[in-house]
Amino acid sequence: MLENYDLHNIMVLDIETVPQYSSHDELPPVMQKLWAAKTKYQRKEETPEDFYTNAGILAEFGKIICISVGMYTTGNGFRVKSFSSHNEKDLLEEFATMLNGRNPSLILCGHNAKEFDFPYICRRMLVKGVKTPVQLNLNGKKPWEISHLDTMELWKCGDYKNYTSLSLLAAIFDIPTPKDDIDGSMVGHVYWVDNELERICAYCQKDVIATAQLLKRFRGEELIPEELIVYV
């Protein structure tokens, strides 16, 4: 089935998110109460203050700081670009403008993207007043009308209980690891404490490349040579 897809009409993406504030103390009082209520059953024995480091995973309390995208090019190449900013609306508008200039039938692909990246982008666009590009607008569509690809879903092979990380799949398919510097649990600290947005973008791009390589493996094809990966 995958071999029927035109790789040149697939855009691989990944996002990096962080809490909207550097600490729980900076949250407006009303949001502190709503945070405590929202995470009541997730926190277990942790306090709302301690659990706030996880706020980036929830679109109501987090924000996007980087969206990295990649496109397959002729001759088994791959082109990667990142949209990043401390101003989330600027980032989302730039990303939306790029998608609006692409084929409306462009297929978006990510790892666990159907559960996280795609809906997170749509929710943050709603919050920031950015019109959702047609490739992301799924309202009213039936499941079989959605052409998004998710490498984690492809790996499930029908097993709805299974979760497998990109790092694990990269390892078993002999794909260079995307986690050789930081991992997702460190992004908030690297952003709010170290102030290293460029480092986060580099990490995000590695995830995009690993996902693109994984899709090639799923198709039974050779990996993209490192020398044919272009960073824009």
Higher pLDDT among residues 159 and 27, named by residue: 27
Among residues 64, 44, 61, the alpha carbon closest in space to that of 52 is found at 61
d(C-alpha 14, C-alpha 129), whole Å: 21
Mean pLDDT rounded to a whole number for the chain: 93
Burial profile 130-153: b = 16 or more Cβ within 10 angstroms, e = fewer: bebbebbebeeeeeeeeebbbbbb
Least confident of 19-23, 44-48, 174-178: 174-178
Q: How does DSSP assign 75-128, residue by residue?
A: TTEEEEEEEE-SSHHHHHHHHHHHHHTS-TTPEEEESSTTTTHHHHHHHHHHHH
Distance CA 159, CA 133 (A): 31
Kindly report, residue by residue over 97-140, the tens digit of the pLDDT. 999 999 999 999 999 999 999 999 999 999 999 999 999 988 77
The partner residues of 62 in beta bridges, in order of sequence, read 19
Q: Which domains does the chain have, with CATH numbers?
A: 2-20+61-231 (3.30.420.10)
Q: Which residue in 107, 219, 230, 226 sits closest to 173, CA to CA?
A: 219
Does the predicted model carry a pTM greater than 0.85? yes
Looking up tokens 């995307």, which residue turns up? 178
Confidence (pLDDT) at 158 = 82
